[in-house]
Amino acid sequence: MTLIITAVTPEYCVMGADRRLTEGGRVVEEESSKLTVLVTWDARTVVGYTGVARIQDFETDRWILDTLGSLRTQSDSIHTILEGMRSAASDAIQKLAGCGQKDLRLSLVVAGFIYQGDAEEGRIWKITNFEGAGSIPGRDHFKILTFVPKTPGESLLVAAGMTHAVGKDQFEALESRLREGIPAFGAERKLCHIIQSASLNPSAANAIGRQCNSCVVPRATSEKITSVYYSDSISRNVYAVNAVLRGDIWAGGLLQTGASSPPALVPKRRRNEPCSCGSKEKYKRCHGAMEFPFSPMFFEVQRTEPPIPPSGSKVMVLCLGSAGRAS
C-alpha cells in the first residue's frame, strides 16, 4: 500500500506518490516507480497506483505499462482507455484470486486534462476495487469513479491508499493554498512534503516511504510535463516517472550525475546550518540557493489528432527509473 495525493486546478495537475514497496510489513524496495505519464490524442494525464504491487510474477508497475502499451492509445479516447484499464484490472485480479491470494486491493488514479475542441477540462478518475462508491462486491470487480470540479475555476484534491496517515489539517491547508492560486511547483512541493510527513506517522506502519516522485501536467499543451524526484538522503541518482507517450516524442532527464559532480539531491536544512552535501558551506549558500533544490525532468510531446497516419508515426513506451527500459 502507498499514498497518492492528486490536485487539479484550472492551470495544472500535480500527482505525488512514495516509491516504497512492502510485503508483510517488511520493506522490499525503496525505489519502485508508481507514477506513469500517459499522453493520448485527446488528453495529457498521469497515472498512479496504490494497493497490491507484487504477487508471484505479477508486478503492478509493469502491468500498467503492458496494459497501456497494448491499448490503442494513438486512436482511442481517454475514456475508452480508462474502460480498457478497468476491464484489464478485473481480469488480472481475478487470475490472482484463483491462486488463493487474500489482499488484492488495487486503485489506479488517473488525472490531468481532456482536450475537446476548444475546451480544456481537468479530471480525476479512480479505477478501484475497494475505495469509495459504497459496497464493492468482490476484489475482481472494479469501478471507475469520476471527480469533476463543482464549479468552473474550482480545484480538485483526491487522495488514495493510506490516507489515514495524513492529518485532516494538512489536507485543509493544501486545499486553502490551491484556492489561493499557489503556483504548480509550490503545490508540488507541499504535496510531497505531506507524503514524507505521513511516512513518519506510526499509523503508516512503515508502508509509506520517504523517497517520492511527483508529476506536474500543465493545462496548456505548449508547456512541458515535468517529473520531480525527492530523496531523503544524499544521492547522485535521480529517478523519473515512467512514461507512455504517443505521437512524435522527445523525452529525457538526468538519471545519474557524474561521480565527481556534487550530489543532485540532499536533505533540506535550516538556512544557516551546514549543507548536508558536505561542502561546509551554509545551506542557504549551497543547495538552498538553487532555483530548484531537486532535479526536474521534462516530457515534451506533440499531440496528434486522429486518424493516425498508418506509417511514419513513432510509437514508444519509455520507462525512466530504477527499472528503466525502452522498447
Are 231 and 110 members of one domain? yes
- In this predicted structure, the answer to whether residue 145 has a pLDDT above a threshold of 90 is yes
- In which band, very low, low, confident or very high, does the pLDDT at 286 lie, cut at 50, 70 and 90? confident
Residue 191 or residue 252, greater confidence: 191
C-alpha distances (whole Å) from 136 to each of 101, 128, 129 are: 18, 9, 6
Whether residues 184 and 287 fall in one domain = no
Tens of pLDDT along 25-59?
Answer: 788 888 888 998 888 888 999 999 999 888 878 88
Domain span including residue 107 = 3-251+295-326
Domain co-membership, 267 together with 219: no
Q: Which CATH number covers residue 81? A: 3.60.20.10
Task: Tell me how many domains the chain contains.
Answer: 2
For residues 171 and 264, state if they share a domain.
no
User: Does 184 lie in the same domain as 106?
Assistant: yes
Secondary structure in 3-state letters for 49-78 = EEECCEECCEEHHHHHHHHHHHCCCCCCCH
Pair (268, 166) in one structural domain: no
pLDDT at residue number 246: 57
pLDDT value for 318: 35
Between 311 and 23, residue with greater pLDDT: 23
In this structure, are 51 and 78 located in the same domain?
yes
Answer yes or no: do 138 and 271 share one domain.
no
199 and 128 in a common domain: yes
Strands 242-246 and 35-40, sheet pairing: parallel
Range in 17-26, 101-110, 175-184, 317-326 the model is least confident about: 317-326
Same domain for 167 and 275, yes or no, is no
What tens digit of pLDDT does each residue of 227-276 get?
Answer: 888 877 666 666 777 877 654 333 333 344 444 445 556 677 788 988 87
133: left (phi over 0), alpha (psi -120 to 50) or beta: left
Would the pLDDT of 68 be above 60? yes
Per-residue pLDDT of 148-162, as tens digits, reads 988 888 999 999 999
pLDDT of residue 308: 37
pTM here?
A: 0.81
Q: Band of the pLDDT at 17, cuts 50, 70, 90?
A: very high
pLDDT, position 263: 56
* Strand order through the sheet with 143-147: 143-147, 119-128, 106-116, 43-51, 35-40, 242-246, 315-319, 325-326
Q: For the residues 88-117, what does the mean pLDDT come to? A: 88
Q: Are 84 and 71 in contact (CB under 8 A)?
A: yes
Co-location of 220 and 281 in the same domain: no
The contacts found for 287-295 with CB under 8 angstroms, 24 or more apart, are 292/185, 292/228, 293/265, 293/266, 293/268, 294/228, 294/229, 294/230, 294/265, 295/228, 295/229, 295/238, 295/253, 295/254, 295/264, 295/265
Regarding whether 279 and 232 lie in a shared domain, the answer is no
